[in-house]
Amino acid sequence: MAEFTMELNDEQKEVRDWLHGFAADVIRPAAAEWDEREETPWPVIQEAAKVGIYSLDFYAQQYFDASGLGIPMAMEELFWGDAGIALSIVGTGLAAVGVLANGTEEQIGTWIPQMYGDANDVKVAAFCSSEPDAGSDVASMRTRAVYDEAKDEWVINGTKTWATNGGIANVHVVVAVVDADLGSKGHASFIIPPGTPGCSQGQKFKKHGIRASHTAEVILDNVRVPGSCLLGGKEKLDERLAGAREKAKKGGMGVPPLERSREGGRVKNAAMATFEASRPAVGAMAVGTARAAYEVALEYATTREQFGRPIIDNQGVAFQLADMRTQIDAARLLVWRASWMAINGKQFTAAEGSMSKLFASETAKKVTGQAIQILGGNGYTREYPVERMHRDAAIYTIFEGTSEIQRLVIARTLSGMPIR
């Protein structure tokens, strides 16, 4: 087990500086253009692929960093550059992790390279779970996957929504219901290979922020995929379903999934434990956006003069900056703690992953708003980046579980009570 440390080692510092250079030289200068275009920044993804940032190797290296700080450090730097472009770069990683976590070695070897493509022909991937009637309430998912035994194929029907890279992805990872009686225990994940008939893009959303990241519906109309596209394989699924049915018979399924999260003060449900481990990464993205806005505001406050002195000479401005920085540092510490706990297999007895995501995302929303205020009229225009950062920051309190859902998870974990 790695000791918890608040200091990056030399190798990590080198990676951080390299990422910061890419964020400052390539991502930030392109941010305003791709925000206005509301399109996937393919040339920037290609640049990231050329230098090795857009690759499974890079992602895996950070993911398996024994200190747990690899992913939060990488996310903070890339999202410091720009949230929309950074999400376009790391969005594929979210789908790849779905395959890494649940897939067989053969599935990992077959599909992950096709998710990334190569530097001359970059591809992206999408992870599709949310549906129009199943957002926070994942258990009410309707997309169905039915096994056609004669052909050893799965037939998938349904509509996914809010999918990052949905419809433009080379490979889609789709979560579907295989046994409707088992709630979220009856879900399974499938690979939809490139060009599969019946899989198409629905509405592309015009968004408030992270506009360089493509978000769309994915329509699944009698999509047929080979049996080998079920992540983890049929045998493992049958075993898992049999276990869940057995538990259901004994009365274990009568409560909603969030309420089964605590037993003896520990997060017990496997899906909940996975979320606790992945949420700090979103917290780190929020820290990156917050830090970017704070830096712009600090620089502006020390150079902008009113009443014959820099505006930071006023306590009203200076104290805001002091609070902004304090909250950003506190958010980072919560994120690092949870990331360290995740890599070292620590039990999330107080939902520390959710805590880090909740605090960091709320901090980003608040701090970017304060940055606008400090820049005055300039802050409100697109001549300066803080209004974009403020629009971008609003996503962190929504995706990967809203702030309200994080609070529910934390409160239920702490109390063991079915709080609604």
Ligand X SMILES: Cc1cc2nc3c(=O)[nH]c(=O)nc-3n(C[C@H](O)[C@H](O)[C@H](O)COP(=O)(O)OP(=O)(O)OC[C@H]3O[C@@H](n4cnc5c(N)ncnc54)[C@H](O)[C@@H]3O)c2cc1C
Residues that bind ligand X (CB under 6 A): 127-130, 135-136, 162-164, 207, 210, 215, 395, 398-399, 402, 404-405, 408
Shortest distance (Å) from residue 44 CB to ligand X:
18
Distance (Å, whole) CA 107 – CA 103: 6
Which CB, 127 or 340, lies closer to ligand X? 127
**Which residue's CB comes closest to ligand X?**
135
Phi and psi (nearest 5°) for 242? -60, -45
Shortest distance (Å) from residue 205 CB to ligand X:
7
Are 339 and 12 in contact by the 8 Å Cβ rule? The answer is: no
Give, in order, the Cα–Cα distances in Å from 404 to each of 29, 281, 358, 397, 400.
34, 18, 9, 9, 11
Which CB, 265 or 418, lies closer to ligand X? 418
DSSP 59-97: HHHHHT-TTS-HHHHHHHHHHHH-HHHHHHHHHHHHHHH
Q: Is 400 a catalytic residue?
A: yes
**Strand, coil or helix: what is 126?**
strand
Shortest distance (Å) from residue 258 CB to ligand X:
8
Shortest distance (Å) from residue 286 CB to ligand X:
14
Residue whose tokens read 């880090």: 356
What element of type H or E holds 333?
helix 315-343
Which CB, 13 or 37, lies closer to ligand X? 37
Which CB, 38 or 295, lies closer to ligand X? 38
Residues written for the chain: 420
Q: Which two tokens stand for residue 178?
A: 């295989």
Which CB, 163 or 312, lies closer to ligand X? 163
Shortest distance (Å) from residue 269 CB to ligand X:
16
Query: Sign (positive/negative) of CA torsion 122, 127, 128, 130?
Result: negative
47, 77, 217, 400: the catalytic one is 400
User: Looking at the annotation, which residues are catalytic?
Assistant: 400
